[in-house]
Amino acid sequence: MNKLGLVVGLLEDDEDMAALVGQWLEEAGYATRLFRSVGEYRRRQGSEAVDLLLLDWMLPDGSGIEVIEGIRSSANSRLPVVFLTARDTEDDIVRGLASGGDDYVVKPPKRRELIARVSVVLRRHGADAEAGETIELAPYSLDAKRRRISVDGREVDLTQREFDLASFLFRRHGRIVSRDALLENVWNLSSAVSTRTVDTHVSRLRKKLELSGEHGWRLAAIYQHGYRLEPI
């Protein structure tokens, strides 16, 4: 079962390693997306957003350092990234972290340690909150257990779908969420379905929660990528 709709991307060209780590992640409750090269990741990243990227350093058409530098200078700069690589010197680890890595795991990975590190990084970025937790993005307060959301203490009436959409976006604040990800995780529909439904619901949610900057947060449309809930 997919854990809170979280998707972990794996940029890895070693098929055996990708299969093993992918199995561990799925057994831990995460959905996975495999990218076998830098080129494939760049082609698919706009339409197949992930909540965290496990990144190899040595790839057939580039390096992990190039990938993370590109991420950190992009519209999706807050994407959590964990290096998973055979490069194990102190200089390598320092360089990986200095380039923007949130954590660094040396191959061969240990199952429990890797899953724990993924969970910690996601939690640090606010995505791995428990289903019953309250998410505070002042002046917004989202109570997942009671399925209520308030602005400055004033409760806002949302439909069930609107609340699910708000919860998904609030857990990923600061990061781009693609329309495909919303369709799959909020509507449980194939990404082949028209995205007009998503756009309509996002527009309604933006109006109801006053997410156009009135309260310090904006639900912005990111051209050709999706949406991002961001502070202003």
Residue 4 has what pLDDT?
A: 56
pLDDT tens-digit readout, 143-168: 988 899 999 999 999 999 999 999 99
pLDDT tens-digit readout, 39-97: 999 988 866 778 899 999 999 999 999 999 999 998 788 899 999 999 999 999 999 99
Three-class HEC string of 61-110:
CEEHHHHHHHHHCCCCCCCCEEEEECCCCHHHHHHHHHCCCCEEEECCCC
pLDDT band per the 50, 70, 90 thresholds, residue 196 = confident
pLDDT band per the 50, 70, 90 thresholds, residue 195 = low
* Residue environment code for 124-140, b if the CB has 16+ CB neighbours within 10 A, otherwise e: ebbbbbeeeeebebeeb
In this prediction the pTM is: 0.74
Is 129's pLDDT higher than 60? Answer: no
Q: Mean pLDDT, the chain, as a whole number?
A: 90
**Domains of the chain, each with CATH number or no CATH:** 7-124 (3.40.50.2300), 134-231 (1.10.10.10)
Q: Rounded mean pLDDT of 113-120?
A: 95
Residue 50 has what pLDDT?
A: 87
Q: Rounded mean pLDDT of 103-125?
A: 94
Residue 192 has what pLDDT?
A: 60
Residue 160 has what pLDDT?
A: 93
Are the CB atoms for 32 and 63 separated by under 8 Å?
no
Say what percent of the chain tops pLDDT 90: 68
Burial of 154 (0-12, 13-18, 19+ CB in 10 A): exposed
β pairing state of 140-143 and 148-151 = antiparallel
Between residues 118 and 223, which one has the greater pLDDT? Answer: 118
